[in-house]
Structure 1
Amino acid sequence: MPTIYKICPASAWREAERAGVYLGSADDLRDGFIHFSTAEQVAETARKHFFGQTGLFLIAVDTDQLGDALRWEPSRGGALFPHLYGELDLGATTAVLDLRARSDGGHDVPELKP
């Protein structure tokens, strides 16, 4: 079971839990897909897009549950990133982790399963 990860504000994830589905962030909605990262990409995604932000969750998702709506597309430096074209069924979620902010604005990324 390959795992991918989504960084999102805890408040947005709690709302998704109430709704039963995650529709994505404002950036996701603008781009037409939900942005995810692999385990190896999470730290750089956090640095580039979430630096200085607090109250974040790191959502682990089982790619086997996403079907054909998941596509691997080139992004930063040509690296392939997972993009979900559709909403995220919360049943595909395998873990919800705190992404703790440090005093320097960076984040402590936990050890992640690829």
Structure 2
Amino acid sequence: MLIYKIFRAPEWATLRATSTTTGAPIDVADGFIHFSTAAQAAETAAKHFAGQDDLFLIAVEANSLGDDLKWEVSRGDALFPHLYREMRIADVHWAQPLPLLDGAHQFPAGAGFDT
């Protein structure tokens, strides 16, 4: 199962340059890296990245993260994936721009995203 992280361009650039990241400022403050499922990603983008362009959608295979990935109750009592270690460039299954069109982020078609 793929899970998703939304990064601003500088955060994605840092991961590519250094091969590891502790995530965005919210991740560092919370002590874990926030991810979303495909069904949760659009709401995450709307809530935390409204109107922001120059974003990247990063896909990670959840099973490859082992015991460092915890599923915890968050927004709306839903279980969200949280990574309790640095994210590594080797964790990335794929990455692509997350364009903003008419105020809405455009997620890949046919990948199970609720948009």
Decide: shared fold, TM above 0.5.
yes
Alignment of 1:1-114 (within 5 A): 2-103=1-102, 105-111=103-109, 112=111
Aligned length: 112
Q: What is the CA-CA distance between 1:65 and the residue it aligns to?
A: 1.6
Structure 2, unaligned runs of 5 or more: none
Q: What is the CA-CA distance between 1:53 and the residue it aligns to?
A: 0.3
SS of aligned partner of 1:51: coil
Q: What is the alpha-carbon distance in structure 1 between the residues aligned to residue 36 and residue 91 of structure 2?
A: 15
Q: What is the alpha-carbon distance in structure 2 between the residues aligned to residue 30 and residue 39 of structure 1?
A: 24
Task: Return structure 1 stretches of 4+ with deviation > 4 angstroms.
Answer: none
Q: What is the alpha-carbon distance in structure 1 between the residues aligned to residue 46 and residue 87 of structure 2?
A: 24
Q: What is the alpha-carbon distance in structure 1 between the residues aligned to residue 63 and residue 90 of structure 2?
A: 11
SS of aligned partner of 1:86: coil
Q: What is the alpha-carbon distance in structure 2 between the residues aligned to residue 10 and residue 60 of structure 1?
A: 15
Structure 1, unaligned runs of 5 or more: none
Q: What is the alpha-carbon distance in structure 1 between the residues aligned to residue 49 and residue 24 of structure 2?
A: 13
Percent identity for Structure 1 against Structure 2: 48
Q: Normalized against structure 1, the TM-score is what?
A: 0.92
Q: What is the CA-CA distance between 1:22 and the residue it aligns to?
A: 2.1
Residue type at the aligned position of 2:23: G
